[in-house]
Amino acid sequence: MTKWAVFLIFISTPIFAVLQDCSPEESAILQGKCSLHVNELMIFTDDKEVSLEVAKNISKVCQSITKCYEDIQCADAQRNKEMYEQKCQRLDYKNYLLKDCMTKVYDIINDKLVNCTEQFDYSSNNLTTKREAFTSGKSCFMSLVDTNCSSKSIAHFHSNYDSFLNILTVPPANNEKCNLVHDELTAAPCIPLQTTFMAEEMSLVTIMLKRDFSVVKRLRRVCEQLQECTVASCFFSAMNFTIRNEDTCTNIDTIQRKTDFAECHLTTILKANLTNYDCIPSNATMPSFVKRTTKPNFYDDKECAKKVMVGECGQNVTIGFDENWSRQVEL
């Protein structure tokens, strides 16, 4: 085995797996001093929303717990340290309303509503790139926090930015379930896209009846952005969301083809002059200004209509043309 192979095995092994069992003296500290801090934390642990003052007190207790375990270099102590680090990150995420804050911030970033956000790739799936963005673009990010988030979130980010940055950009060593704060933070850019997509998807049928073709195209763009965002997120993958999203995007592709056909069909019917197509007779009945839905008689000829629509709208309209033509004839 090469020295590189040995090195790789070492760094992939949890630190407490290579530590010795705790000595009686170390176990006594675990059961004594560290347990006192844990019991103190238990008092605060419930599902209720807490004040900023209480949130800060919980954070202080958490720091005492992790520091206590960190100072004891044995397997159980380090295992407990990791467990309570994750538990305390979850408490901070809840108590300081960070999910709501990050959703608002990414909504602004995705919509490019603030100029400074375009300079930094906050939404990158590459953690190195993301870290650089949140480091170089700290002032821009904090300006969004200060103007859009709760006082709890603002206080947390101002006091714990470095800790936030590490949680966001350093993947946890043991993360089989993909349910840690790191995972939710890396998935945060997708949440506003998901909300927008679901809202527009719900109104899609009504919009189609109104022949608002632009909405389908916009929905397809959002679907592509959402798919790109969620496919790199184990948080969404754990819920099989990426599979459902892929199916939805495929369905929208089908709707898009129908939309392209319908939009082109309507456009060519209303067009004032189509006489440059040799399949259209010079005496073709063109729609009047009053009766805009009247079809020119050349539309009884499927191949002629196809030729005209390709000429006016491009080759994309030929995708699924026969099916769309049959549906249009039935209307």
Assign 141 a pLDDT band (cuts: 50, 70, 90): very high
Length of the chain: 331
Instruction: Specify the amino acid at residue 130.
Output: K
Gap between the Cα atoms of 104 and 31, Å rounded: 43
Predicted structure pTM score: 0.68
The pLDDT of residue 137 is above 90: yes
pLDDT in the model for residue 216: 67
Q: Note the pLDDT of residue 8.
A: 28
* The two three-digit tokens of residue 256, written as one number: 């898009």
Q: How many CB atoms lie within 10 A of CB 135?
A: 14
Comparing 304 with 103, which gets the higher pLDDT?
Answer: 103
pLDDT of residue 243: 46
Reported as a single tens digit per residue, the pLDDT across 42-56 is 887 766 889 999 999
Residue 208 scores a pLDDT above 60: no
Q: Tell me the two tokens of residue 44.
A: 């605060």
CB-based contact 319:306 (threshold 8 Å): no
**Residue 286 pLDDT more than 60?**
no
Per-residue pLDDT for 326 more than 50?
yes
Choose from 209-223, 234-248, 276-290, 295-309 the range with maximum mean pLDDT: 295-309
What confidence score (pLDDT) does residue 54 get?
A: 93
Does residue 82 carry a pLDDT above 70? yes
What average pLDDT does range 108-113 have in this prediction? 87
Q: Please tell me the distance from the alpha carbon of residue 292 to that of residue 277, in angstroms, as a whole number.
A: 21
Contact 187, 194 (CB under 8 A): no
